[in-house]
Amino acid sequence: MSSMKAIKKRITSVNSTKKIMKAMNLVSASKLQKAKSRLDHIRPMFENMALVMDSIKKSISPDVKIDFAQVRDVQNSAYIILTSDRGLCGSFNTNVSKEALAFIEANSRDKNESILAVGTKGWDYFRRRGKNITYRCLGSSEATSFADAEQLGHKAANMYRSGEVDEVFIIYTHFESILTHIPYIVKLLPISTEPSDETDQDRPIEMTFDPDPKTFFKDAIPMYLNTTIYGAMLESAVCELASRMTSMDSATRNAAEIIDDLTLEYNRKRQGMITQEITEIVTGANALN
């Protein structure tokens, strides 16, 4: 009887967990729709911003010195790594953290590294591995705002401008579809002044800058930097919600399977007890005769 009670208690416990997972799945699905809608509206802006900057870079005269485009002898590297603040989102945090760690260890040989961690999970992952975390931004993985991206971009720009670091990378998860999320590594600083398409090198591009190219890029590059970071943060937030939704859906199905297995086991034990009682009654009746 105690075994049946234990099974029944476990069924009740798993059923409660199933309800929680189902609720989290519905909440994540609702948040995902809003986050994806925001990403769809914003994505063209930062994609076009990148195209505009690429066109502008082709028009730069070699004698124009731009602060954020100076190629240095790299001794110090900074890595902006985007993860989530909460768990229960499958392999989302593990994938981007492992990708970031592999890239950092390969790129930072004989270099000093600085990690700007966005999200509790990434901060904890690299803290436990003894990495140098110089900045952390917690509590903004889902509630992403441009102010967070601006603050992060300002921090990265100041580190580069002051010479504290010689290059800046951002590592985040790119949203392809509900089930496909790919870790991306993008070099933010220094800004490359080389044309991205070799076929475009012969195309003459004439641009005038007001008041002058150096002043223009002093304002334009931080804006480009902030917009790129904001786009990456939105991509990461959508991937987090999509991962959590699919994980909770999978957990709900697994819980249902466990309940079915436990119910079958419970019914078998109950049937066995009933059979045993009937056998004892029949045996007792035969003994009286």
pLDDT digits (tens, 9 = 90+) for 114-148: 999 999 999 999 999 999 999 888 877 766 788 88
| Long-range contacts, stretch 195-202, CB < 8 angstroms, 24+ apart | 195/54, 195/57, 195/58, 196/54, 200/58, 201/58
pLDDT cut 90: percent of the chain above it: 36
pLDDT bucket at 240, cuts 50 / 70 / 90: very high
**pLDDT value for 140:** 72
**pLDDT value for 98:** 94
pLDDT bucket at 2, cuts 50 / 70 / 90: low
Domains of the chain in start order, with CATH, are: 27-245 (3.40.1380.10)
Q: Would the pLDDT of 222 be above 90? A: no
254: CB partners within 8 A, 6+ apart? none
Which pair of tokens denotes residue 202? 């012969």
pLDDT bucket at 238, cuts 50 / 70 / 90: very high
Q: What are phi and psi of 141, to 5 degrees?
A: -65, -40
Q: Would the pLDDT of 63 be above 80? A: no
pLDDT bucket at 199, cuts 50 / 70 / 90: very low
Q: Would the pLDDT of 48 be above 50? A: yes
pLDDT digits (tens, 9 = 90+) for 84-102: 998 888 889 999 999 999 9
pLDDT bucket at 204, cuts 50 / 70 / 90: very low
